[in-house]
Chains A and B, each alone.
Chain A
Amino acid sequence: NAGVTQTPKFRVLKTGQSMTLLCAQDMNHEYMYWYRQDPGMGLRLIHYSVGEGTTAKGEVPDGYNVSRLKKQNFLLGLESAAPSQTSVYFCASSPGHLSGGYGYTFGSGTRLTVV
């Protein structure tokens, strides 16, 4: 089925370790996003991309880096994990301007625990 695929689905890291979360979409969408979801705080935007080779900071970018070398992939990296980065991470994509009512398509999430 077409959509957004996130890997891995679960991960436990030790403080200071690094990892990369992968997001892949097969809908030829231009825009991609990384959010984190924490209890009582809704979804907060980490980084986003409006096309291949572009990235931009969102609301909570500190401690994360991203890359979009190919249009279909958007990688989220944690260089030195901290317990405060324990969260559920969601990737999303959209075809273009939200004013057209396109909305996002979300992946199923990655549950990350940093101990």
Chain B
Amino acid sequence: GDSVTQMEGPVTLSEEAFLTINCTYTATGYPSLFWYVQYPGEGLQLLLKATKADDKGSNKGFEATYRKETTSFHLEKGSVQVSDSAVYFCALSDDTDKLIFGTGTRLQVFP
């Protein structure tokens, strides 16, 4: 079945460092891809999305490009802030209109 694999965390960075969180997927069809962010004690919030190959989703300085040839949707940010500390989830939509989530990657940013 369809699945999402994320890099294990935690990812620990200093403020203003470059961030990459890897996400790869397995899918039989042509899924839409999503990144969600969960701040402590809160629910998940949609961060960005891409609906077809080569699309780039972007929001709040974060970017991810839908790469069909490598089945990847890696999350990047050029300069992280302490306020970016959270858990990040990669997800794909399967052909029955449900989201399949990765296990999440915790990001910790220190001043």
Contacts and interface: CB of A to CB of B under 8 A. Distances in A.
Nearest to A40: B103
Interface string B36-56: 100000111110011100000
B28 to A, nearest CB: 13
Contacts of A64: none
Contact of A101 (B32, B45, B101): B32
Interface residues of A, number: 27
Interface stretch (A41-49, A66-74, A76-84): A41-49
Interface of A: 4, 31, 33, 40-43, 45, 48, 50, 58, 90, 92, 94, 96-101, 103-109
Given A90-B44, A101-B50, 10 more contacts: A40-B103, A50-B97, A97-B97, A100-B51, A101-B32, A101-B51, A103-B49, A103-B99, A104-B99, A108-B42
Would you list the 3 A-B pairs with minimal beta carbon distance, nearest first?
A98-B93, A106-B43, A42-B103
